Amino acid sequence: MTDELSPAVFVDRDGTIMKDCDYCSDPKDVRIFPGVPEALRRLKARGFKLIVITNQSGIGRGYFEEETFWKVQAAFEQQAGPEMIDATYFCADHPDEATDRRKPGPGMLIEAANDLGLNLAACFMVGDSASDVEAGLRAGVKATILIGTKEKEPREGVWMAGNFSEAVEFILIQGA
C-alpha cells in the first residue's frame, strides 16, 4: 500500500457522459455518448479513479425513489463497461433545500476524496454546467473542464471541450 493519495476524474453523469433525459428514471432511457467507454478505459489505464458525481433532485422532488436511481446507474455502468466506475456519489436534495453536497457545493467531491483516499489537487472535474465547474473549483481540483455549449463564457481556471473524449485528451496531457 502506498502513502500517496490517488488522482481521480470526477464526472457529472447526465448531459456529460450520457444523454440527459430530464429526471432519468427508466434504465431503458440510458444512452451513453459515443466514445465514452473508450475514453473511460484510457483514463483507467493511466491510473485515474473514475467517480460519478451527480445531482439527482428527481428523488428530492418525489419523481422517483433512490432504488430507481441505482437501476439507472447500473444501466449506465453496463454501457460504460465493466469496472470502469470506481464510485458514484449522488445528491437527492431539492434545489430549494440544498446542502453543501448538492453541486455547486463541493460536498460530494470532498466526501469522495475522504472515502477513497484521493488527492484533490491531482483530480479533475468534468461536467456540462456551471454548477459542475463551480463544485470542482470549490473543491480545489487541479482543473475543471466544461463540455458542450451550455455555458459560452470562458472562465479563469476552466477548460472548454466539445465532448467527454476531448476533455479526456486534455486530462491525459495534463496528467496527475
Active-site residues, by number, are 12, 14
CA distances from residue 141 to 110, 119, 138 in whole angstroms, order as listed: 10, 8, 8
Distance CA 146, CA 5 (A): 25
* Residues in the chain, total: 176
Nearest to 51 by CA among 120, 100, 129: 120
Per the CB < 8 A criterion, the answer to whether 31 and 16 are in contact is no
Q: In the chain, which ranges are continuous DSSP H helix?
A: 36-45, 57-60, 66-80, 107-116, 130-139, 164-174
Spatial CB neighbours of 152, under 8 Å, sequence gap ≥ 6 = none
DSSP letter assigned to residue 30: -
